[in-house]
Chain A
Amino acid sequence: EAGVAQSPRYKIIEKRQSVAFWCNPISGHATLYWYQQILGQGPKLLIQFQNNGVVDDSQLPKDRFSAERLKGVDSTLKIQPAKLEDSAVYLCASSLDRPDTYGYTFGSGTRLTVV
């Protein structure tokens, strides 16, 4: 089966600019996640969708980050305006209804550098 697709692979922007990331999960996976992984740290959950509804966005900096999942399939994560500390890899993951059997399937990620 095809994996989780993400684009772009890399992005360099200046601080205060905006950026958007795209994710296409594995077909049939109802749950989609966006994680932020800062260099040398473990992934941190930003937002979780169940179909097209938000389940958990408690750690999403809502003053600058937004995410949506249209029609319960693809998702976009946006940062506006970006700060230097947003430099990280943004990982999209999907799972069958619950990840506690087969775990998360992660995409290759988007490496964001804010200069």
Chain B
Amino acid sequence: GQQVMQIPQYQHVQEGEDFTTYCNSSTTLSNIQWYKQRPGGHPVFLIQLVKSGEVKKQKRLTFQFGEAKKNSSLHITATQTTDVGTYFCAGQRIGTYKYIFGTGTRLKVLA
């Protein structure tokens, strides 16, 4: 079945450093979404990417969808302690409304 993997599984950074998480699907996706889950919280929708090669920015966050629509990345510039949490991608299977969540990347920011 379709799998969505994320790397790294964990990342510790010093406050002010950059952070990137990568999302890879075993199959081509219709679109991809990104969610943030704070410790003890629930996933919160961040953004959706639809087009091949699409890049979107939200303040210090940059999201990219690969040309083949099988991978995506989330880059955070100059991390802050408020960025702490687990970041999940969720890929939509072609021909369905079903999203498969990735394995997540847990980010810790050291002040």
Residues of A within 8 A of B44 (CB): 106
Contact yes or no, A99 B97, CB < 8 A: yes
Interface residues on chain B, number (Cβ under 8 Å)? 21
Proximity string of chain B (86-111) to chain A, C-beta cutoff 8 Å, 1 when within and 0 when not: 00101010000111011110000000
Residues of A within 8 A of B92 (CB): 100
Contact yes or no, A42 B42, CB < 8 A: no
Contact yes or no, A91 B42, CB < 8 A: yes
Q: Which 7 A-B pairs have the closest CB atoms?
A: A103-B45, A42-B101, A106-B42, A43-B101, A42-B104, A106-B43, A103-B33
Determine whether B25 belongs to the interface, using a CB cutoff of 8 Å to chain A: no
A-B contact pairs, 26 of them (CB 8 A): A41-B104, A42-B88, A42-B90, A42-B102, A43-B101, A44-B101, A45-B99, A48-B98, A55-B97, A56-B98, A91-B43, A100-B31, A100-B48, A100-B92, A100-B97, A101-B48, A102-B45, A103-B33, A104-B35, A104-B43, A104-B45, A105-B45, A106-B42, A106-B43, A107-B42, A108-B42
Distance of A48 Cα from B96 Cα, bound (Å): 12
Residues on B facing A (Cβ under 8 Å)? 4, 30-31, 33, 35, 41-45, 48, 88, 90, 92, 97-99, 101-104
Residues on A facing B (Cβ under 8 Å)? 40-45, 48, 55-56, 91, 98-109
Chain B residue with Cβ nearest A91: B42
Chain B nearest Cβ from A30, distance in angstroms: 12
Chain A residue with Cβ nearest B47: A103
Chain A nearest Cβ from B44, distance in angstroms: 7
Residues of A within 8 A of B48 (CB): 100-101, 103
Residues of A within 8 A of B42 (CB): 91, 106-109
Distance of A79 Cα from B3 Cα, bound (Å): 26
